[in-house]
Amino acid sequence: MCGRFAFYSPSEATAALFGVAGALPVEARYNIAPTQYVAAIRDAESGDRELVMLRWGLIPFWAKDPSIGNRMINARAETVAEKPSYRAAYKHRRCIVLADGFYEWHRAGDVKIPYFISRESAEPMALAGLWENWTDKESDETVQSTTLITTAANDFMASLHHRMPMILEPDGVDTWLSGDMEIIEHAAEITPPLQAWPVDRRVNNARNQGEDLIEPAGDILSD
C-alpha cells in the first residue's frame, strides 16, 4: 500500500522531463495524504500532455457517493484490469502522479517505523496511476480523481513492506500512457534503483508538513 508521499521538486522542470511544456507551479508538499489534490500528467484530448491536479482516491464514474473514493487510493496491478472500479480507467484513462518519494511503515516488533523511499539518483518519480471523471447528478459538479497502481515489492522494498507503487522510468511513462497492457506485468522489474531511510514519526500526522519530515533519523539503505 502507498498511503503517503512527497513532491517538492520544481513542478515546471519535472513536468518537462515527462513531455509537458509550460506547466504551472505546484506547491511543494512533504506529507501528501489521501483525498488531497496531487500533481499528475496525462494525455490531453489535443494529443499533448498536460499537468493537472487530481483528487487522490479514485471515484468510479458510476458511484452514487464520492466518499467511496476515500478508500480507493491504490489499485493492485494484479487485478486492476478486472475490478469494476478500475477497469474502464485502466483501458482509457491512465496518468502518472509526480513524487519525489513515498513513505512506508516498517514493523519492528510492536513498533511501526516510518521510512522515506526515493530514487537512488534523487530524481523525481513517476508513479503509475489511473484517473476518472465523476459527476454529481444533483449539482452537476465534476470531480477528477486518481489512484496509484501498486505491485508486489521488489527485493529491495521487501525488507520494508510487501507492496510498493509502480514506478516508471521516462521511457516507461510513454509505454504506460499509450495504453500498453504488458508493462504492468513487469511492474516490480522496471523499478529504478531506490534508497530508503527512517524518518521522524511526525509524518504519521498528515497535518505536519515541512522539509524536516524527510530528514534521515537513521542509516540510509540503498538498492
Tens of pLDDT, residue by residue over 90-103, are: 999 999 999 999 99
Q: What one-letter code names the amino acid at 118?
A: S
User: Are the C-beta atoms of 90 and 130 separated by less than 8 Å?
Assistant: yes
Q: Which of 2, 50, 95, 132 is catalytic?
A: 2
Q: Among 75, 92, 59, 81, which residue's Cα sits nearest to residue 148? A: 75
Q: How do strand 49-56 and strand 142-152 relate by DSSP bridges?
A: parallel
Q: Identify the pLDDT of residue 179.
A: 94
Instruction: Classify residue 210 by its DSSP letter.
Output: S
Q: 95 an active-site residue?
A: no
> What is the rounded end-to-end Cα distance, in angstroms, of the chain?
20
Q: Identify the pLDDT of residue 47.
A: 86
User: Are the C-beta atoms of 178 and 47 separated by less than 8 Å?
Assistant: no
Pull the grid cell for residue 11: 513542478
Instruction: Classify residue 21 by its DSSP letter.
Output: -
User: Over the stretch 139-164, which tens digit does the pLDDT of each residue have?
Assistant: 999 999 999 999 999 999 999 999 99
Average pLDDT in the chain: 95
Q: Is the pLDDT of residue 220 over 80?
A: yes
| CATH number for the domain running over 5-222 | 3.90.1680.10
- Is 209 exposed, middle or buried, given 0-12, 13-18 or 19+ CB atoms closer than 10 A? middle
pTM (2 decimals)?
Answer: 0.96
Q: Mean per-residue pLDDT for 55-82?
A: 96
Q: Is the pLDDT of residue 109 over 90?
A: no
Q: Which of 78, 104, 132, 138 is catalytic?
A: 104
Q: Identify the pLDDT of residue 208.
A: 98
Q: Which pLDDT band holds residue 23 (cuts at 50, 70, 90)?
A: confident
Pull the grid cell for residue 44: 490531453
Q: Mean per-residue pLDDT for 38-63?
A: 95
Q: Is the pLDDT of residue 1 over 80?
A: no
User: Over the stretch 163-216, which tens digit does the pLDDT of each residue have?
Assistant: 999 999 988 999 999 999 999 988 888 899 999 999 999 999 999 999 999 999
| Cβ-based neighbours of 126, under 8 Å, separated by 6 or more | 18, 41, 96, 97, 98, 167, 168, 169, 170, 172, 173
